[in-house]
Amino acid sequence: MRVTFLGTGTSQGVPVIACECEVCRSEDKHDKRLRVSVLLEINKQVILIDTGPDFRYQMLRADVKKLDAILYTHEHKDHVAGLDDVRAFNYKQQSEVDVYAHQRVQDALKKEFHYIFSGSNYPGIPRLRLNNIVDGESFQAAGIDIIPISVMHYLLPVFGFRIGDFTYITDAKTISSEEKKKIVGSKIVVINALQIDKHLSHFTLDEALEFAAEIGANKTYLTHISHKLGTHAEISKKLPKDVYLAHDGLKLEM
């Protein structure tokens, strides 16, 4: 399996519009963060997690030529806004793209992108095949076994996903002990770490590090990072062994 971090930023990305802070003014490429998303390549199958506002550019930047399935964590705009650009893959592949999401997320997509699901089949609209993810039930996407992991983004349920020895979780603030059991044994875990100060709906850096220590993966990567966390270089020096800041373009081979 190859994992490519397409984006590692929070909902505003980094730099933030009109911000003059040290992180937003940084010239280090590691501090340039698009909205959060990852690409998984497994047995020649290509699976994407989330299509944020930067989806088109992420596909071009990573030179993605094929897309077999999309998994959605939840319905917030920074995770779904780029869905329309999936139509480029429809044209290239001459087929629909499978989308996997909770029913609540599907309902949100139907409202946000009503023209896709109106039944009019207007020329050029994305062609999608919706598949339901049921809480607590494993499923297959593009023939790959996937375990959904339910976490809470304040009051909103969000899905993380475990694929083999890899677990990806974003927008988490609390995770139940039952759901943590599904993560234990993963060799690589990705978890959100928004900022230093306390936040209502996201792990802080300290909370993410506490979670990493509890799970005990071989390696933990932090994502969904805001400009309030600090520079990549500064924070990287403070992290414990086997915990790393992810950055846009980072590739992991498993």
Domain borders along the chain are 2-135+144-246
Q: Strand order of the sheet with strand 69-71? A: 128-132, 97-101, 69-71, 45-49, 37-42, 2-7, 251-253
pTM as predicted: 0.97
Mean pLDDT across the stretch 179-205? 98
For range 115-127, the mean pLDDT:
92
Confidence class for position 121, pLDDT limits 50, 70, 90: confident
Segment (H or E) for 219: strand 219-223
Encode pLDDT of 199-211 as tens digits.
Answer: 999 999 999 999 9
Question: What percent of the chain has pLDDT above 90?
Answer: 98
Q: What is the mean pLDDT of the chain?
A: 97
- Please tell me the predicted confidence (pLDDT) of residue 234: 98
Is the pLDDT score of 148 beyond 90? yes
Task: Look up tokens 């400009």; give the residue.
Answer: 227
Lowest mean pLDDT among 43-47, 122-126, 232-236: 122-126
Bridge-based pairing state of the strands 219-223 and 243-245: parallel
CATH superfamily assigned to domain 2-135+144-246 = Ribonuclease Z/Hydroxyacylglutathione hydrolase-like (3.60.15.10)
Average pLDDT on 187-194 reads 98
pLDDT at 247 over 90: yes
Average pLDDT value for residue range 49-61: 98
Cα separation, 90 vs 88, in Å, equals 5
Averaged pLDDT for residues 180-199: 98
